[in-house]
Amino acid sequence: MTAYLITSVSIVGAAPTDLLIRDGVVAEVGPGLSAPDAVAVDGAGLVALPGLVDLHTHLREPGREDAETVESGSRAAALGGYTAVCAMANTSPVADTAGVVEQVWRLGREAGLVDVQPVGAVTVGLAGERLAELGAMADSAARVRIFSDDGHCVADPLLMRRALEYVKAFDGIIAQHAEEPRLTEGAQMHEGEVSTRLGLIGWPAVAEEAIIARDVLLTEHVGSRLHVCHVSTAGSVEVLRQAKARGVRVTAEVTPHHLLLTDERAETYDPVFKVNPPLRTAADIAALRSALADGVIDIIATDHAPHAVEDKECEWAYARPGMLGLETALSIALDVLGPEWDLIAERMSRTPARIAGLTGHGVDPAPGVPANLTVIDPAARRTIEPAELASRSRNTPYARMTLPGRIVATFLRGEPTVLDGKAVK
């Protein structure tokens, strides 16, 4: 196994030092290291972080390999600085059995670019009618710990209660896509001034907030664990703040796009800005940013949602919701948070790894820890060209925007998946 010596690199923003990777682990850290057999990587001006961990990725395989595969999505993840991703269950067939989650898990191992941890569906076929085989998925080779019908809300309160109770047996988590479906029928964008002006049916903030409020109460009642996907409103932040103050075991994520883009993007009628939950207002963005800083929102998760051209380059009303995210998330985080490396490591690596129970991930580079890490050039700026992305899809909302930061290298258990900013395989 090749060794790598990264010289003069800042580990999570600390003073520059040398970092030796050998036999899959961080072998040594300190100034003036020498390792004649190692490949030298000049780390001057660069920052090393624990490999990023995404709790919310859509890899589309099985079923929509034209939009993404486990391999292409894994490559996009590695290029974005990730070493582990949680693959959502809304594939075709749905990941609602031990067989499908094991298939996704194996495809991830075969690609070998990031650790792919499957998320299991809560209900059979995401239909919201009866519980899937949660225990069988937990006991499978994929060791599923997080369950979600993401894309759909588990709207039935009795089913949600049963799911929360069931996963207690193995300390599992229900990750909810919070959307009261009766309040969002036909919705095309955020309900507000812009939707009124454009004459599009709105998706009201309360449809998210009502489900989060219900679910934190159910979670508290049964003593289970809840994770809230893609929080998008200021009101949701307040519900979560109160729940956490009472000690409810709830965690929450925000996406990069909900930290940056507002509902005014819908004025372009460019479906690349159509997403669920929808882009909200500047006031929501301000609340989400401060919740991310103070910890009411625990993590940034991408909700990477690749879509084939025919599903996205069409009329707004017919376009599928969702945006790419893996290859741009770190840049958006840098743009939004600035070079707050400890906070970025906390929100994009340590905490998501802890929530998902991914041992070996989310650990700062130090002697003896698995070499799952990424190296960033914070001074670089790059203009996003959709055609250059590793994803099979092109639906990035940041096309031709110039963003800060570039991933220089990513290592998975000591093997580079990205070097010199390029995918190794």
Catalytic residues: 303
Contact criterion met (CB below 8 Å) for 331 and 382? yes
- Find the shortest distance in angstroms from Cβ 188 to Zn ion: 16
Environment class of 335 (CB within 10 Å of its CB; exposed 0-12, middle 13-18, buried 19+): middle
Nearer to Zn ion among residue 146 and residue 409 (C-beta): 146
Name residues contacting Zn ion, limited to 262-301 (CB under 5 A): none
Q: Would you count residue 150 as binding Zn ion (CB under 5 A)?
A: yes
How many residues belong to the site for Zn ion (CB under 5 A)?
Answer: 2
d(CA 301, CA 280): 17
Environment class of 159 (CB within 10 Å of its CB; exposed 0-12, middle 13-18, buried 19+): middle
* Beta strand 47-50 pairing with 202-203: unpaired
Of the candidates 341, 262, 334, the one whose C-alpha atom is nearest the C-alpha of residue 14 is: 341
Nearer to Zn ion among residue 115 and residue 150 (C-beta): 150
- Find the shortest distance in angstroms from Cβ 150 to Zn ion: 4
Nearer to Zn ion among residue 75 and residue 177 (C-beta): 177
- Find the shortest distance in angstroms from Cβ 407 to Zn ion: 25
d(CA 11, CA 369): 14
**In terms of DSSP H, where are the helices of 223-328?**
234-245, 282-294, 309-312
The DSSP result for 96-162, as a single string, is -SHHHHHHHHHHHHHH-SSEEEEPBPSBGGG-SSSB--HHHHHHSTT---EE--TTS----HHHHHH
Q: Would you count residue 61 as binding Zn ion (CB under 5 A)?
A: no
Q: Would you count residue 208 as binding Zn ion (CB under 5 A)?
A: no
Nearer to Zn ion among residue 9 and residue 305 (C-beta): 305
Q: Which residue is nearest to Zn ion (CB)?
A: 177
Other beta carbons within 10 angstroms of residue 424's beta carbon come to: 16
- Find the shortest distance in angstroms from Cβ 26 to Zn ion: 35
- Phi and psi angles of residue 5, each rounded to the nearest 5 degrees, phi first: -115, 110
The SS3 call for residue 196 is helix
- Find the shortest distance in angstroms from Cβ 305 to Zn ion: 8
Nearer to Zn ion among residue 71 and residue 209 (C-beta): 209
Instruction: With contacts defined by CB under 5 A, name the span among 38-46, 169-177, 306-314, 348-356 that binds Zn ion.
Output: 169-177
Side chain identity, residue 25: V
- Find the shortest distance in angstroms from Cβ 270 to Zn ion: 21
How far from each other are the two terminal CA atoms of the chain, in whole angstroms? 16
Contact criterion met (CB below 8 Å) for 261 and 273? yes
The SS3 call for residue 291 is helix
Instruction: With contacts defined by CB under 5 A, name the span among 121-129, 147-155, 349-357, 371-379 that binds Zn ion.
Output: 147-155
- Find the shortest distance in angstroms from Cβ 277 to Zn ion: 7
- Find the shortest distance in angstroms from Cβ 373 to Zn ion: 29
Count, residues in the chain: 425
Of the residues 177, 225, 312, 413, which one makes contact with Zn ion according to CB under 5 A: 177
The first and second tokens of residue 177, run together, are 């896509």
Instruction: With contacts defined by CB under 5 A, name the span among 3-11, 142-150, 251-259, 261-269 that binds Zn ion.
Output: 142-150
What's the gap between Cα 271 and its chain centre? 21
Nearer to Zn ion among residue 177 and residue 307 (C-beta): 177
Instruction: With contacts defined by CB under 5 A, name the span among 172-180, 333-341, 376-384, 397-405 that binds Zn ion.
Output: 172-180
Phi-psi region of 151 (alpha: psi -120 to 50; beta: other; left: phi over 0): left
Instruction: With contacts defined by CB under 5 A, name the span among 146-154, 281-289, 315-323, 329-337 that binds Zn ion.
Output: 146-154
Nearer to Zn ion among residue 27 and residue 275 (C-beta): 275
Nearer to Zn ion among residue 17 and residue 396 (C-beta): 396
Other beta carbons within 10 angstroms of residue 73's beta carbon come to: 33
d(CA 170, CA 419): 38
Instruction: With contacts defined by CB under 5 A, name the span among 130-138, 175-183, 202-210, 366-374 that binds Zn ion.
Output: 175-183
Binding-site ranges for Zn ion (CB under 5 A): 150, 177
